[in-house]
Chains A and B, each alone.
Chain A
Amino acid sequence: MANKQHMVQVQTENNENGQNYAIEMRGITKTFGSVVANKGVNLTVKSGEILALLGENGSGKTTLMNMLSGIYKPDEGSIFINGSEVSIDSPEDSKKYGIGMVHQHFKLVDVFSAADNIWMGRENPGFVLKNERHSAIEALASTFGFELDPRKKVYNMSVSEKQTLEIVKVLCYGAKIIILDEPTAVLTVQEIEKLFSVLRRMKEEGHAIIIITHKLNEVMDISDRVAILRKGEYITTVNTSETNEQELTEYMVGRKVDLNIDRPVVETTRPLLEVRDLCINNDEGATAIDNVSFYIRGGEILGVAGIAGCGQKELCEAIAGLRPIKSGQMIHKGDNIVGLSPKQILEKGISMSFVPEDRLGMGLAPSMSIVDNMLLKNYRDCKGPFVDRKSGRADAMQVIKDLEVVTPSADTPVRRLSGGNVQKVLLGREIKAGPNVIVTAYPVRGLDINSSYMIYDILNKQKTDGVGVLFVGEDLDVMMALCDKIMVLCHGKLMGVVHAHKTTKEELGLMMTGALDLKDKYEDKPAGIAKDTRFGEQEAKEA
């Protein structure tokens, strides 16, 4: 095979000048409008090693890798491949330099067969499309240790089959530097094992491999070195053998000294929102939330801890009525809310605000003004056919004043505001509506310390007013200081609900990675099920 010869060659080259890194990125900066995705990032990978790129959601891992794959161009900085500086202007260039990336969101043509998806990017494939391409691809795949049905159409494939195809595709192009973006997220345990053994073999054959992940156990298992990004900035690179999960968590999450967040003691009410045995699918049809139960009382903040992407988004959407649930129950003040429309759920006083990575995706209309966005949920409340912009403007001014939103005026489109200010507008609006349950995900994502504290204060204020708050967060220190209880999710499964003042960061960390399961800690009371449940009331209503 031509590819194999290539690999051997690479190996010898590296042995001769061991100084050269397969890839070296120096001082890479990339901004999108006002959002800084990467700031002065340095990264090195040697041939014949596996580098794990570790970081939380939104820390800029994928953006950084996309600059290697030619999708983005860095604003500043240089990239060296095997010691010589290159300019990667397009995916074509990237391929030419032997870089192959397996994207998290598959880049496959749905209506093509597996073989065609690979064939379309082959060098010198010949003008005429021959039927032999199927067997050729199949044979090539098997040399890499993969079984592939070359004629199977992508739209008939399962998620893991698509993943396999993506990996085979990159290998077929003879990539020497392979980047995998969250490759294990969708694979089963056995498939992960298989993938890892393939990666190890690739490594031995002299490939440089970068694997983006946030699963610490996998990092420890597979990688030689770990590079850590936090909020777009490069933190450090450590040898895997000289570190441990604890240290990595600290690098990844960042250690905040002198955290002094209030946790007012408030008398709690009976459960406002109870969720039992909830199962939800994600967009790809895989299970996102698996049999989760929890409840929120008025006057308490329930934190949701978990590694990014383990079902938080789906959970929030399901509570807001935006995503159908597979099974389970959701009871609000004794009323069943499963199957209600988003509008009806809104009218019950449940507010949801989710700050996605790009900060604009859900809950805001980006090209509309702050005033108009204030009106989004309550524009129907006034009488008559007209929108009451006067109250909207008053609300907007109030929010701008209270939360110190930096904006030229209340009429500025939300799109033009910086990230922190967008979040303030979003949360400000949610609170203005006077909800009794607030579901808020990543409300301080990307905010500076002062703005973050302001948002904690707002949430505490709501709590003292008797509102139940579900706080999906990233920073464990913050959650331990702010929340009353913390529920921990791991791959959509509930690992337990702990009292924030009794737990430790280590305990949470172990639960997040699935090493510790406290669901059945107390035999008389399984986690997430209230003793003074309102479930009976709902059944009484139905009867």
Chain B
Amino acid sequence: MGFHIVKRDNCPLWQKCCLYIGAVLLAVVIGGIVLLSIGVNPIKYYTRMFTMGMIGNRIAHVTFMNYLKKLVPLVITSIALSLAFKMRFWNIGGEGQFIMGAIASGFVALKWGNVLPMWLSLIIMCVAAMLAAGLYGLIAAWFKVRFSTNETLMTLMLNYIALHFLMFLSERKEDWNFFLDETSARPKFASFSQFVKMPTIKIGAKFELNICVIIAVLVGVLVFLYLKYTKQGYEISVIGDSVGTASYAGMNVKRIILRTVFLSAALIGLAAACRVGTAGILSTSITEDVGWTGIIVAWLAKLNTGIIFLASALICVLQQGSEVAASSFSQVSSSFANMLQGLILFLVLAADFFTRFRIARAKKGEKNNG
């Protein structure tokens, strides 16, 4: 074996782009082969999937609005997670924090939604969600800085504790449980859509832009500015790069970790508030796995805020598109998206290797002499 692997100092941008685009294309091709093997024309399927069936469709604007509804929580969650990841804090508790945010905003909507003016209850919803999610995130962060408890496993556990708490609320028919619909005999979440709903802005004749889209863009811009231009953002990158250097520079590393994780989790809470405010009702599948997908998106985008928008847009197209396509290709289930998504990420991870390492050949004189 005349070669070995060495770390490379840098990788030109064009090479990176080629590698990543190549990886995505390869995944699509492999997916196509799978489709072929079960007798589906991959070109037709992909066309329908990637356009989400909007071409030549009279209700394309509805599809697009649904698409945005899916996109907003994912974008905000991914951006929020990128904050913690930038600091090398492996917050995989997005699901749990999202759920806590959703419960808090549901609480506000059901308790005061019909008394307060809508704008006020929406604002309180957002604030409550951010607080609840933020505090929930702080649990793992506090144990991390205090006892260096593994945050990956801790946040993982907290996800499921939150999920079962939500399920408890959804199934427990009791007098105190105002989360449930009183009129229904079976336990069922009460709807509050008639009191509280995220407002929309009419654009053109049919299209209604949900305010959450604006919130998402705003969050993206703010987080981008925060990370890039503020002192706190600066501290986050230094800690992410080298904890030793951070304390050498006199930073209070523990405080910064707590603060950043709170902020990260709070933003996930905001994503939950947007989701709940749009849906007008809680549900046990309220997260739609954005806590998991968000991790993947943030990683895929290399924690770059701009690319997070791009990557989550792509993932959402996969998910929404596969659902649309499933209606016309009965033999392909919408879970094809999950598979394709996994495939894409596997190959991107593999491509990543070649941007960090290169395979070096040992120079002559080692083998040829002897």
Contact = CB atoms under 8 A, between A and B. Distances in A.
Interface of A: 27, 33-34, 73-78, 84-85, 87, 89, 320, 322, 341-346, 352, 361-368, 372, 375-377, 379-380, 385-387, 389, 415-416
27 contacts: A27-B365, A33-B7, A74-B362, A74-B366, A75-B363, A76-B363, A78-B370, A85-B370, A342-B249, A342-B250, A343-B250, A343-B251, A363-B245, A363-B248, A364-B242, A364-B245, A365-B237, A368-B237, A372-B234, A375-B234, A376-B238, A376-B249, A385-B232, A386-B230, A387-B230, A387-B231, A389-B229
Given A367-B241, A387-B229, A342 B247 contact: yes
Contact of B245 (A74, A76, A352, A362): A362
Contacts of B242: 364-366
Contacts of B44: none
Given A364-B242, A367-B241, 13 more contacts: A33-B7, A75-B362, A76-B363, A78-B369, A84-B370, A87-B362, A341-B250, A342-B247, A362-B244, A365-B241, A366-B242, A386-B230, A415-B9
Contacts of A363: 245, 248
Contacts of A386: 229-231
A367 B7 CA distance: 15
Interface of B: 1, 4, 7, 9-10, 229-234, 237-238, 241-242, 244-252, 360, 362-363, 365-367, 369-370
Nearest to A382: B231
Contacts of A74: 362, 366
Contacts of B233: 387
Most chain A CB within a 10 A radius of its CB, from B7, B9, B242, B244: B242
B238 A365 contact: yes
A78 B229 contact: no
Contacts of A380: 231
A389 B232 CA distance: 14
A361 B247 CA distance: 12
Given A73-B362, A77-B366, A368-B238, A385 B230 contact: yes
Nearest to B364: A76
Contacts of A362: 244-245, 248
A465 to B, nearest CB: 24
A87 B367 contact: yes
A366 B237 CA distance: 11
A78 B366 contact: yes
A536 to B, nearest CB: 30
B162 to A, nearest CB: 32
A352 B249 CA distance: 10
B241 A368 contact: yes
A521 to B, nearest CB: 36
A73 B247 CA distance: 35
B366 A322 contact: no
A368 B246 CA distance: 12
Nearest to B7: A33
A297 B207 CA distance: 75
Contacts of B230: 385-387
Contacts of A364: 242, 245
Contacts of B363: 75-76
B248 to A, nearest CB: 6
Given A380-B231, A385-B231, A387-B231, A34 B237 contact: no
A350 to B, nearest CB: 11
Contacts of A343: 250-252
A323 to B, nearest CB: 11
A389 B363 CA distance: 44
A87 B366 contact: yes
Given A365-B242, A385-B232, A322 B248 contact: yes
A389 B234 CA distance: 11
Contact of A377 (B231, B249, B366): B249
Contacts of B1: 89
Nearest to A354: B248
Most chain A CB within a 10 A radius of its CB, from B234, B246, B247: B234
Contacts of A84: 370
B34 to A, nearest CB: 38
A364 B362 CA distance: 32
Contacts of B248: 320, 322, 342, 352, 362-363
Contacts of B231: 379-380, 385-387
Q: Which 10 A-B pairs have the closest CB atoms?
A: A343-B250, A85-B370, A365-B241, A342-B250, A376-B249, A387-B234, A76-B363, A33-B9, A346-B250, A385-B230
A381 to B, nearest CB: 10
Contacts of B362: 73-75, 87
A75 B233 CA distance: 40
Contact of A322 (B229, B247, B251, B367): B247
Contacts of B237: 365, 368, 372
Nearest to A34: B9
B333 to A, nearest CB: 42
Contacts of B370: 78, 84-85
A380 B251 CA distance: 10
Contacts of B246: 365
Contacts of A366: 241-242
Contacts of A415: 9
Nearest to B225: A386
B249 A361 contact: no
Contacts of A367: 241
B220 to A, nearest CB: 18
A377 B233 CA distance: 15
B169 to A, nearest CB: 38
A247 to B, nearest CB: 32
B175 to A, nearest CB: 48
A345 B246 CA distance: 15
A361 B234 contact: no
Given A362-B244, A376-B245, A387-B230, A73 B4 contact: yes
Nearest to A317: B248
Nearest to A412: B10
A393 to B, nearest CB: 13
A385 to B, nearest CB: 5
B83 to A, nearest CB: 16
Contacts of B366: 74, 76-78, 87
A385 B246 CA distance: 18
A78 B245 contact: no
Contacts of B10: 416
Nearest to A345: B250
B353 to A, nearest CB: 18
Nearest to A86: B370
B7 to A, nearest CB: 7
B203 to A, nearest CB: 34
A272 to B, nearest CB: 20
A62 B344 CA distance: 42
A412 to B, nearest CB: 10
A85 B369 contact: yes
A103 B248 CA distance: 29
A376 B239 CA distance: 11
A451 to B, nearest CB: 21
A78 B365 contact: yes
A368 to B, nearest CB: 6
Contacts of A75: 360, 362-363
Nearest to A413: B10
A416 B9 contact: yes
